[in-house]
Structure 1
């Protein structure tokens, strides 16, 4: 081998075993001590301007909040799987309507609707439907109480008019009932003959003209003695 030939020396790779955690802790401790004492490091750089903050971030609290929310979500899903929801689609629709939710979404089938109801109950509680029904019944009861019968004092003229109507109507109603009871005592053939005679007379009549007698249905009419006037009564 001549002197002109270059000798190539192959470096061997060094492999270190074990953790560097202890060495890193020692290095950081030495750096912190040097900063406190204000000395220079081996590179000659002044370390007096380096400041170490004593403030700490509450990472544990934030992590605990996230962990709590995750655990609550897992618990909710577990309860949702244990909820008993009816397989009857009509009953599922009624339950959604009682909860104030849409009965059907676009492209939603009975299975998806049932899953949606289960998820809603897992958020609102299994007895949410019963609570809604109780609230609805209480509201109806309150409205029924407001719509009750109430009275107020009227003028004396109203009392006099109603007394006159009663004195006029009650005797005539008594006469009509008495006549109806007497007609019931007649044989069936006699009553049938009377109905046939009335039908024959009615069929022999023809309409000459018509006129609106009132805004409500006409209940009774009667001609005057000279047949020149017609009096009507309506509802």
Structure 2
């Protein structure tokens, strides 16, 4: 709880003011090898500790007595003035343009979603329950369609293309591969450029020929599906975890162990936003289907929802008791799923701003969660217990267990039409699960 409380506190962004406050509180102004970001985290934790121990008066007195961090040019030290500093830095022109673009894009998408929901509710011929039941019945008939070794070492991520005709996978060898779907027997291209293991891969939702990879080498890279490297996104101070595209395909979000997530411009490679807010490493990132919101989750057991149009943190979701590793927004616009090391999947209602349901999903940590991308009729979770499970999007009851992997399931994805699920594992295999019939001769089962 101390970490959660500390993560909600604001501390100065000016390093000289941070060191001045530490000095007034009787703390070392710097530790050996300590960077500016780590110094801010130390001040944040100290502030939270003083607050919890009821020593807020001491803290406030220290603030009032704080010496100016900078001297006015040409003035004597005796004429120092208190430094006025912002708690946030001024954004760039590129970020302003991106916020305007996102606002325009998301308002149109939100209007369409609400119109579709209103039509379903008011039109007698629209049988939403019937559609959901049919979708859940189809999900209940999921079976292993095909299986293939994806690499010589464990696989860490997978993603379907916009049309579902290609599947990208990545592994800890530092190599990503693009496969022809639905029978993943042929490799379309191999992506090699990273110097460390790959942690995630994602296809653009707007372009079948564009995908991105995240790596422990602290970079993300943009590729054409034929294997051509387009550009590299550099700036993170520690290894990357998950990566995701904005629904427009114009922006990429990256989560990192440097306790930040960042937003990048796909066309220019410019870092638009560096966002703090977690007290420990940020592991997962996901965009709302409208494009207005983005969610981040991390090892501080906290999930946050941010408004991309304003930059504000609009929700802090507390409930998991261990690190949160994955999250997914439902296409209905108001449900959010999170999965973590406490073996549970939590369903959050963004309208009520609270946890709606807790699914005791697995016997080991939940490594990934994904809503069915069309209507959110079902939800899929992957786990280190070697299984993936399908859950109803209506009452979150268990629908199907996908068993077949021999080791930890690290990631999953669902085709845009919702008819096929891909899972990848530490057993080095890719498995496709489908309710469609598959000729025995056409199956390639390892």
TM category (shorter chain) comes to under 0.3
| Structure with bigger RCO (C-alpha 8 Å, 6+ apart) | 2
Q: Higher helix proportion, which one?
A: 1
TM-score calculated relative to the size of structure 1:
0.28
TM-score calculated relative to the size of structure 2:
0.17
- State which structure, 1 or 2, has the greater radius of gyration over its C-alpha atoms: 1
Q: Higher strand proportion, which one?
A: 2
